Every structure is written in structure tokens, then in C-alpha cells.
């Protein structure tokens, strides 16, 4: 039996376009005489479709498109079978009235062969808003070359019920245990599993457990592409019954692979990546897909000469190409000479478009207008925020005029404690590094300027003969440069300390006592908690944040603004 694994990048809501992509893939399958094409979870919709699933006209169109797709495949490729992820209507009066299902296209018709049983409601997932759980595990019986095969089908989270891995196993049902009784010949998992740190290791563990438990090979097909704040990494794979990898597909890229079920010998993985390279790849894909799927061809960045905007500029250049990146330096009277020259030098190394718009005169006119009209003399913090908002206004004006995608450059540490200005440096259509702590920003920049990144820089057509970020930017003390001789440490503890506390609070959900046991001082912990709480209203108005961790400060951070605890 020959499978074609189709690791594809669907566009959310583009049912016709996604169907055309699946039809194109079947041409590849037909040319190699494949028996079954496997596409990811909700492949006809793209994942996550969210409230598009509530639109009745789209649900209705889905079935017409599926009928046409089945007819087209049969006319051209006769007996080729294809799995397609759909939203199946439940014909009763209850809500939600959909299943997250897999349809099998076969001989000009289609039928439902699997329904998702375990519906995740953690992190960014909210599937119980749209779907009901399937009631039983799914086995497809298929006869190929006079042999009958029993294929067990699971959908994404159905594979993740494992009490020994990452706190899983809290569900009442376990599809993998139930499939043991069905005596399947192979296990298939069709997924839309977003990238986060260490996700690949966890997938390998749950999948290896399932393959060994059932003593059958396992095929895992994952979606790739970025949809809003979520980045899907692909990394589809095939395991043998011992849990060893037979084949690993590409990371962060569409990929097809043909596999005969008789081939069980493990192959060497050609796509091994470091943590830093995976983060870089993820953010590049995040910008590229967000821009392309939202109709942007160019990106705009406020380039300060600091490390955050430098990193965002490098990632954006890799994503969209140097000719499509526009950077603007907006120095004030407090901007150091090295920051101005560092910004210009970075733009030269990246070969991106660069302009400078000094804001000192604009700042003076603001101060003069306030004093003359309402006798209002700006306090230090107000003065600093006005500078940031002048820059934000200039950037938004340029973005509006030239139809650029404005990229926000704030990091997770700043967003967490509110060390950012609403309607100023927080302006933008996408927050690129908003899920990277400042210490990780430094790590990623150090990697990018090291020999370890050479192959990556080549693949993205970045210069390999120079340091991209540059030593001056990587080694300077962090500063917003909104006041005389200002440093971040004037207001915050060193990032090496701050980020440890933030990670403990945000991702590890530690309380005061646990953080004290980790060695942090009580007064500092309470200060950081207070800063996080006070900045909540800012984060609710921030652009979408590309998600990298198990807990970003974006759509999966659901803390109320008006609280007391």
C-alpha cells in the first residue's frame, strides 16, 4: 500500500483555493501510483478557522466544493483515494452542530471516516466552541492489491492522551487505548499542531508511545504555514512499530513524500535544526505568511539602532526580501551617535531601504504648543511617551501612504512589564518578537552572527561575509534613549533576572513562595507582579503576537484587566 503524505499550507477560509491545492497534489499522487493521499486536519478550511465555522454559507459551500473535488479526482485519477479535513454538519437542534472530521474521497464520492474525539481547550485552542466530540475511534478497511488493510485514524489531539507526558492524560477517553482492541495495521494522525518550544520532542514522545503500544507503524501529517499568530511547522513523519523514525519531512515548508507500507527501515533525518534556527525559521514563516495572506508586499520597521529592531529587520528581510523592507530611523536629541550610525550600518548590511526622519523639531513644537495653550509642562514620563508616539504616528503615516505592513519590535519582557508605549512603539500590524524574552533576543542575534547560521543565511539570501546584527548592537547596554543617559536598568532589574521571574510567573504559573524558593527577593517579585497587572490594558490593544512559547501574551493570555488579587 502506497501513501502520499501531503504537508500543505492551506489559507484559512479559502475553501476553493484549498480544494485546488489538494487537486494539484493528487496529480503528483497519480504519477507515482499512490493508493491514498493524506492531508492535514481541516485541510479544506485551514486551521484555525474559528468563527468562520459559524457562517452557514461557508458550511454549505464546503459540501458543494467537496462534491466537485471528488468528481474531479475520479475523472482524472480513477481509483486514487484522498483524505480531506472538513467541518461535518450535525443535523439536530443542539449547538455546537459540527464535528471536526476526515472525509475520504474515493471513486467519485466521499464519506466521513473519522471524527475528532479529544477537543483541546487549552492555550490558543477553543474547539468546544465549534465542535462536538466524536463518540468512537475510527478504523478504515481498505483493500489494496488483494490484501485488506485496517487503518486507524486519529485527529491531532486524539494522539496526545498520555499521562506520562507534559501533564496529558486528563481526558476520560483515550483513543489510542481503544484502538488496541481494533487490531489495526497502521495508525494515521492528521494534525494542525502549531510550533512551540520543545513541541517536536513532545510529538516524538507521544507518537513513539502510540506506535509501540499498538505495535504498528504510525504516519503523522501536520499542517505548515502561519495563520495570524500561530505558526505551523510541518515536520510530518513516519515511525515504525518500534517508534523509530522512518522518515522526517521538512520543517516550515510544504513537502510531499511517498511511502510504501513495506518500507520500515529508519532513515537518517536530513532536516535536523537547532533551537535557535527553528525559532528563526518560525518567525520568518510567521512574517511571510501574515504578509502574503493579508495582501502586503512590503514591510516597514522603525529602526532605532537597538537589538530588537535589528533582529526584526533581519527576520523580515529573510521573509520578504531586502528590496521589500523599508526602515526609518527617527532620532531625537537623546539618541546617541552610535545608535544613529548602527541603524544605518545595519540597513547597509541587510541591503534594505533606509531613511532618517529626525523628530527633535516635532518634539519641540509639541512642548511649545502645550505650554502656550494650556500652560502644560510635560513631566519626564509624559515627555518620553510623546517621543514614542511621534515616532508611532510617523510610522503609521508611512504605512498608510505606501501600504506597508508595519512590524512592531517590542519583546516579551517589555510587553510583560509595560515597558512600552501604547500608540507609540506598540503600533503595528504584527508583533514579531513579542513572545521572545530579551535574553532570548540576545541569544538569537548571537546565533545569527555566528558560523552556525551560515547555511540558514545562504538559504534566505542574507550576507554570509559579515555579521548581520553586528557587535556594536549585540554588546551595547539596552536603552530606550528617551532621556539623558537612559538605560533599561534604571527602571528594571537586569534582564537575566527579570526574565527568570517573568517566565516563572507567565509560563510556569509559580506563586510568590515558589519564586522566593527559586532565590528571587520578595520585594522584586511583588514589583514585577504589579507591573504585569498594570500593563494588562496595553496588551489587550497590542498587535497579534507570533506565538513561540506555551504561554504567549497574545490570544492565549486571558487575564482580565480590572482585577485585584
> Which domains does the chain possess?
2-272 (3.60.110.10), 278-492+535-539 (3.40.50.620)
Average pLDDT in the 382-389 region? Answer: 89
Which contiguous run of DSSP H or E holds residue 154?
Answer: strand 147-155
- Read off the pLDDT of residues 270-285 as tens digits, 9 standing for 90 and up: 656 789 999 999 999 9
pLDDT number for residue 436: 98
- Read off the pLDDT of residues 300-344 as tens digits, 9 standing for 90 and up: 999 999 999 999 999 999 999 999 999 999 998 877 778 889 999
Question: Which carries the bigger pLDDT value, residue 262 or residue 69?
Answer: 69
pLDDT number for residue 482: 74
Q: Report yes or no: 219 and 188 within 8 Å, Cβ to Cβ.
A: yes
Q: Residues 6 or more apart from 403 whose CB is under 8 A from it?
A: 296, 297, 298
Give the percent of the chain with pLDDT over 70: 97
Q: Report yes or no: 284 and 319 within 8 Å, Cβ to Cβ.
A: yes
End-to-end CA separation in angstroms for the chain: 59
**Rounded (to 5) percent helix, strand, coil in the chain:** 40, 20, 40
Q: Is the pLDDT of residue 221 over 90?
A: yes
Nearest Cα residue to 186 out of 159, 220, 150, 228: 150
The H-assigned helical ranges of 186-302 are 199-214, 275-294
Q: Is the pLDDT of residue 393 over 70?
A: yes
Q: Report yes or no: 240 and 556 within 8 Å, Cβ to Cβ.
A: no
Residues 118 and 134: their CA atoms lie apart, in Å, by: 8
pLDDT number for residue 266: 78
In the DSSP assignment, the letter for residue 37 is E
pTM of the model as a whole: 0.94
Average pLDDT in the 484-505 region? Answer: 90
Backbone φ, ψ for residue 148 (5° rounding): -95, 125
Catalytically active residues are: 41, 116, 156
Backbone φ, ψ for residue 258 (5° rounding): -95, 135
Amino acid at each position: 500500500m502506497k501513501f502520499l503524505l501531503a504537508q500543505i499550507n492551506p489559507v484559512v477560509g479559502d475553501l476553493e483555493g484549498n480544494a485546488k491545492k489538494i487537486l494539484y497534489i493528487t496529480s503528483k499522487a497519480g504519477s507515482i501510483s499512490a493508493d491514498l493521499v493524506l492531508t492535514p486536519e481541516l485541510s479544506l478550511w485551514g486551521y484555525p478557522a474559528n468563527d468562520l465555522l459559524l457562517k452557514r454559507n461557508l458550511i454549505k459551500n464546503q459540501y458543494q466544493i467537496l462534491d466537485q473535488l471528488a468528481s474531479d479526482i475520479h475523472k482524472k485519477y480513477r481509483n486514487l483515494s484522498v483524505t480531506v479535513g472538513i467541518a461535518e454538519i450535525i443535523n439536530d437542534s443542539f449547538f455546537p452542530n459540527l464535528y471536526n472530521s476526515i472525509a475520504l474521497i474515493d471513486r467519485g464520492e466521499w464519506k466521513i471516516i473519522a471524527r475528532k474525539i479529544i477537543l483541546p481547550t487549552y492555550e490558543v485552542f477553543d474547539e468546544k466552541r465549534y465542535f462536538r466530540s466524536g463518540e468512537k475511534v475510527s478504523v478504515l478497511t481498505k483493500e489494496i492489491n488483494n490484501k485488506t488493510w485496517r487503518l486507524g485514524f486519529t485527529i491531532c489531539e486524539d494522539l496526545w492522551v498520555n499521562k506520562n507526558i507534559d501533564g496529558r492524560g486528563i481526558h476520560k477517553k483515550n483513543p489510542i487505548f481503544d484502538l488496541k482492541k481494533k487490531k489495526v495495521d497502521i495508525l494515521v494522525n492528521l494534525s494542525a499542531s502549531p510550533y512551540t518550544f520543545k513541541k517536536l520532542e513532545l510529538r516524538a514522545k507521544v507518537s513513539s508511545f502510540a506506535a509501540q503500544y499498538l505495535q504498528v507503524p504510525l504516519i503523522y501529517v501536520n499542517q505548515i504555514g502561519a495563520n495570524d499568530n500561530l505558526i505551523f511547522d510541518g515536520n510530518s513523519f513516519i515511525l515504525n512499530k518500534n517508534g523509530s523514525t522512518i522518515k522526517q519531512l521538512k520543517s516550515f515548508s510544504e513537502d510531499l513524500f511517498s511511502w510504501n507500507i513495506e518500507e520500515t527501515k529508519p532513515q537518517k533525518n536530513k532536516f535536523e535544526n537547532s533551537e535557535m534556527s527553528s525559532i528563526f525559521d518560525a518567525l520568518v514563516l510567521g512574517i511571510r505568511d501574515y504578509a502574503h495572506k493579508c495582501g502586503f508586499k512590503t514591510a516597514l520597521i522603525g529602526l532605532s539602532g537597538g537589538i530588537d529592531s535589528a533582529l526584526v529587520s533581519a527576520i523580515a528581510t529573510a521573509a520578504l526580501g531586502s528590496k521589500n523592507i523599508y526602515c526609518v530611523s527617527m532620532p531625537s536629541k537623546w539618541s546617541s551617535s552610535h545608535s544613529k550610525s548602527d541603524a544605518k550600518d545595519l540597513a547597509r548590511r541587510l541591503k534594505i531601504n533606509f531613511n532618517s526622519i529626525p523628530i527633535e523639531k516635532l518634539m519641540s513644537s509639541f512642548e511649545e504648543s502645550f505650554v502656550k495653550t494650556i500652560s502644560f509642562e510635560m513631566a519626564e514620563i509624559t515627555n518620553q511617551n510623546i517621543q514614542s508616539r511621534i515616532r508611532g504616528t510617523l510610522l503609521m503615516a508611512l504605512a498608510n501612504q505606501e501600504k506597508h505592513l508595519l512590524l512592531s519590535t517590542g519583546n516579551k519582557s517589555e510587553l510583560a512589564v509595560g515597558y512600552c508605549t501604547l500608540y507609540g512603539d506598540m503600533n503595528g500590524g504584527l508583533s514579531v518578537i513579542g513572545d521572545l524574552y530579551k535574553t532570548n533576543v540576545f541569544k538569537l542575534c548571537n546565533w545569527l552572527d555566528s558560523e552556525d547560521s551560515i547555511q540558514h543565511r545562504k538559504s534566505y539570501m542574507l550576507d554570509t561575509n559579515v555579521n548581520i546584527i553586528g557587535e556594536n548592537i549585540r554588546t551595547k547596554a539596552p536603552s530606550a534613549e528617551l532621556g539623558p543617559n537612559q538605560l533599561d536598568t534604571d527602571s528594571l532589574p537586569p534582564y537575566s533576572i527579570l526574565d527568570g521571574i517573568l517566565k516563572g510567573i507567565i509560563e510556569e504559573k509559580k506563586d510568590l513562595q515558589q519564586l522566593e524558593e527559586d532565590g528571587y527577593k520578595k520585594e522584586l517579585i511583588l514589583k514585577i507582579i504589579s507591573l504585569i497587572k498594570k500593563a494588562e490594558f496595553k496588551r489587550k490593544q497590542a498587535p497579534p503576537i507570533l506565538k513561540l512559547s506555551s504561554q504567549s501574551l497574545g490570544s492565549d493570555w486571558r487575564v482580565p484587566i480590572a482585577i485585584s488579587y
